[in-house]
Amino acid sequence: MASKVIKGGTVVTADLTYRADVKIEGDVIVEIGPNLSGDEVLDATGCYVMPGGIDPHTHLEMPFMGTYSTDDFESGTRAGLAGGTTMVVDFALPNPEQSLLEAIQRWDNKSTRANCDYSFHMAITWWGEQVFNEMETVVREKGINTFKHFMAYKGALMVDDDEMFASFSRCAELGALPLVHAENGDVVAQLQAKLMAEGNNGPEAHAYSRPAEVEGEATNRAIMIADMAGVPVYIVHTSCEQSHEAIRRAKQNGIRCYGEPLIQHLTLDESEYQSGDWDHSARRVMSPPFRNKKHQDSLWAGLQAGTLQVVATDHCAFTTDQKRYGVGDFTKIPNGTGGLEDRMPMLWTYGVGTGRLTMNEFVAVTSTNIAKILNIYPKKGAVLVGADADLVVWDPAKEKTISATSQQSAIDYNVFEGKPVKGLPRYTLTRGHVAIMDGEIRTQEGHGKFVAREPFTAVNRALSQWKEVMAPRKVQRAGIPASGV
C-alpha cells in the first residue's frame, strides 16, 4: 500500500507538543517518530501537525424558515477542509409527526456528497410513543448517540418542558446525550410580536427580541431538567455570560454539562446589527444573536478555564436573496450564519495569536474535546497510531484577509469579511487523502463516510450509577398505624 509521510513538523495534540514525522497508510496513521520515510513526502517544515478540526454543529442543506440553507454537504465540507476541518456533525430534523428513521434516510441521501467524514445528531422536534420507540433504534442501529432539543422557534421546532423531560429521561436509559438550543421560545415570541407592533421591524430588532436573559434562563432550565433526568447535557451555541454562568455554576455543583461557544460569538459583536446597510445586518441574523464585549470576554474566559469545552460554527448559510425574505419583518429573516472555512484560522489568530489560548487548548476545543464527548476518540481528534489520518498541517506564518471572493462556501458574502488571519492549513488530510495541498483544492466528492457513535460514554455510566445510588427508596417500617378517618 502506498504510504505518505508528513515530514519535519511539530506534532501538537491536546496534551503534547513534540517534533516527529507522521506516516500514513490508507486511511490511518501507522507510525509516529523521527526520520520516517514513505512513498510521498509532505513537507511540514515550520508547521504544526494537528488533529483535523471537528465541527459538531452544522446545518447543511437544512430546510428552515421557508427555504433551504445554501451550503450543502459538498460545498460545506469543501469549505471545512479548506480551513482545516475534517469532520462535521449535522442535525437530522424530522418534520412534525415524521418518523425519526425517515429523517435519517433524508440526511443519508444528502450526505453522500460529503468530502470529509460526518455524523448526525437526531433532533427531537415532536413527542409521542413512536418517537420514544424509535430513539432506541436510532441509538442501537443507526450509530447516533446525541439528540437535539430546540427550546426556541415556537410553532416550528420548539419542544416544551414536559417533552424535554420525557426525551432526556429516554436519553438516560439509552446512554445518549441530549443537546439543547437554549432560548426561552415563549418569551422570544412575545418580544417579537411587541417589537413588530411598535414598528421595530429591521434586523436589529432580531437582537432586541433575544436578550441574554432568555438564553440564561433556558440554559439553567435545561441543565436542571437534565439533572433530574439523570443525564449529562450539552448546550449548543452558548453566547453570553448568563448562559455560561448557568453552566459554570452547575459544574461547580457536580452536574455534568458542556458548553459550546461559536467562533462568530467569540469574534463578532452586536454592533453588526446597527449598520446602516440592511443587508449587512440581516446577513448576521442568527440565534442567539451577536452580543457585546462583556459576553465575548466571558466566552474566552470559559475556554481558558475549561468551563466551556468546544468551539463550533452552527454553519447555516443563507444568501443575501434568502435573507431578504425578511424585509419589513425581521422575524422572517432566515436565521443562520456561515463559518466552516473560518473557524480554525479565526480561533488561531484571535485565540492563540493573542495569548488567550495555548496551541494545545486550541486542539482541545476544535477537535479532541468534542471527539471525547461524542465517543469517537481516538479514532478522531487524535494524532496516534491507529487513528484516522484526519490531519491538518498548520502553517503559523501563512496569512490572508478573509473575503467572500475567495471562499469555498456557496453564498455571496462572508460575515468575517476583511478580517486578517495568520495561521492557515498547508495541507488538510481526510482519512489519508490530501484534500488541501498548499492552497490547491483537491477534494473528492463522496469521499466522506458516516461515523457511527456508540452510546454509554464513561460520563453516562458514572451518572447513571450515581443516580442509582441516590434513587428514592421506600422506607421499610415495622408497623404502620391504621389510617385516620
Amino acid at 57: H
Q: Which is nearer to ligand URP, 24 or 316 (CB)?
A: 316
Nearer to Zn ion, 9 or 203 (CB): 203
Query: Distance between CA atoms of 432 and 28, rounded to whole angstroms?
Result: 6
**Pairing state between β 146-150 and 177-181:** parallel
- In the complex with Zn ion, the residue whose CB is nearer, 154 or 379, is 154
Binding mask 331-350 for ligand URP (x = CB under 6 A): ----xx--------------
Per-residue interface string for the shown chain with ligand URP, residues 169-208, x marking contact by CB under 6 A: ------------x---------------------------
CB closer to Zn ion, 170 vs 431: 170
Gap between the terminal Cα atoms of the chain = 85
Cell 421506600: give the residue.
Answer: 474
Cell of 320: 443575501
8 Å CB contact between 38 and 3: yes
**Amino acid at residue number 469:** V
286 makes contact, choosing from ligand URP, Zn ion, none, with CB < 5 to 8 Å by partner type, with ligand URP
Give whichever of 287 and 408 is closer to ligand URP, judged by the CB atom. 287
Minimum Å gap between C-beta 65 and ligand URP is 9
Binding mask 36-75 for ligand URP (x = CB under 6 A): -----------------------x----------------
Please report, to the nearest 10 degrees, the dihedral formed by the alpha carbons of residues 387, 390, 393, 398 taken in order: -150
CB 106 within 8 A of CB 94: no
Site mask for ligand URP (CB under 6 A), range 283-302, x = bound: ---xx---------------
CB of 64 to ligand URP, least distance (A): 6
Q: Are strands 48-51 and 3-7 parallel, antiparallel or unpaired?
A: unpaired
Q: Considering CB distances under 5 to 8 angstroms, the limit depending on partner class, which of Zn ion, ligand URP, none binds residue 160?
A: Zn ion
* Helix ranges, 49-144 (H): 73-82, 100-111, 129-142
**Max Cα–Cα distance, the chain, nearest Å:** 90
Task: Please say which residue, 58 or 349, places its beta carbon nearer to Zn ion.
Answer: 58
Q: Are 13 and 51 in contact (CB under 8 A)?
A: yes
Residues within the interface to ligand URP (CB under 6 A): 59, 181, 286-287, 314, 316, 335-336
